[in-house]
Structure 1
Amino acid sequence: MTTPLLTLPGVYAPQHDTHLLAAELDREPSLAGADVLDIGTGSGAVALAAAERGARVTAVDISWRAVLTARLNARLSRLPLRVLRGDLFTPVAGRTFDLVLANPPYVPAPSARLPHRGPARAWDAGRDGRLVLDRICHGAPDLLRPGGTLLLVHSALSAPDRTLDLLRGHGLHASLVRRRWVPFGPVLTGRHAWLLEQQLLAPEQTREGLVVIRAERTD
């Protein structure tokens, strides 16, 4: 994206995972005319990167502030973007897409439930970090057209192997296509002692692994 993005207070600002997903999106073939869904769009950064390449993009977020932010950024960027408010796939029930993008909440948290409000709703995802990831793995295959692709980014702390197993179990060809190690941000730094207690981190670990998983519907 060439236009600087606005991020309203309480909306997830583009970070390492955003840039990693956008970099993998750049490797996809021509998006001109493709129907694309961006789940958990936040600021709209990745959705707008797809729109910039000529895709018809629908972006979804459960946060009204995120919806407003993405709409504002689309207007500032002068790019067409349909932004809907809702929980994951609910706003697009019955539709299918050529490409589904997802940067969902995935950070393991002391609470077993998802937050109902506040900034943590953008990252906290239950004690194993999979409350949203599992739903995407079960639901995304039905959103893909034959030949369609899912690009999903999340932390190595939240069991990438399970993601691969679930997607393959739904008949998709899934693989881990990109990995990057990044310094701990404020959330993991503040949660370091708890993560050690849960044996999710090694005592000497100072960086978080991020992964992008690509899954394709080949039928």
Structure 2
Amino acid sequence: MTVEIIILAMVAAFLGLRLYSVLGKRTGHEQEPLTRGMDTPAVKRPASIERPQLDDKPAPLTPGTSTVFDIAAEPGIRQILASDRTFDVGRFREGSKAAYAMILEAFWSGDREQLRTLCDDEVYQSFADSIDQRTARGETLENRLVRIDEARIVDAEYEAPMARITVRFDADIAAVVRGPDGELVAGSLTDAVETHDLWTFARDLRSNDPNWILVETDQA
């Protein structure tokens, strides 16, 4: 029993390190990440991602009582609201969760076209380099986003015309890496791994495009 626990702990640590190697840095030539899985249904891919699109009537901010954002993010959110009265912080948070799922799924499947539409050039290149390295090794990922436990805005800033919002994602991911012949290299779809990521999304508030793109990733 003790040996089994040690082995599971080693696998979880290995998966966490490989996931952070890609998602935990803004740029670089990292290895690809792994996600954790379980028998829980995976998050469904939405038909479209209006990376936080907005309502015409944004919800009012109540200082110190929000369950959507940290107090530290409030000044930046107010600046964004002052420049874009259609901005809705709750709607943004929900859109960021959809973006998180879509970007992870696109990376795991090697969908460069999807990544190109959701990330800026620097982040896209980091993902693309990791996909190339994975392909060269003949490896494939069988990862699954089990659930997003929490998505919370931890920082926001506005330097005209660009708005930037950082979201902390606490999620459970099932991750499996298979080799060239389909052999198991690492991971398990029955044991989810906890991940804690900080993703920053940006948007030019002068643009008619309501979509936000991923411009930076880090580990929480």
Same fold? TM cut 0.5: no
Higher relative contact order (CA 8 A, sep 6+): 2
The structure with more radius of gyration: 2
TM-score, scaled to structure 2: 0.22
TM-score, scaled to structure 1: 0.22
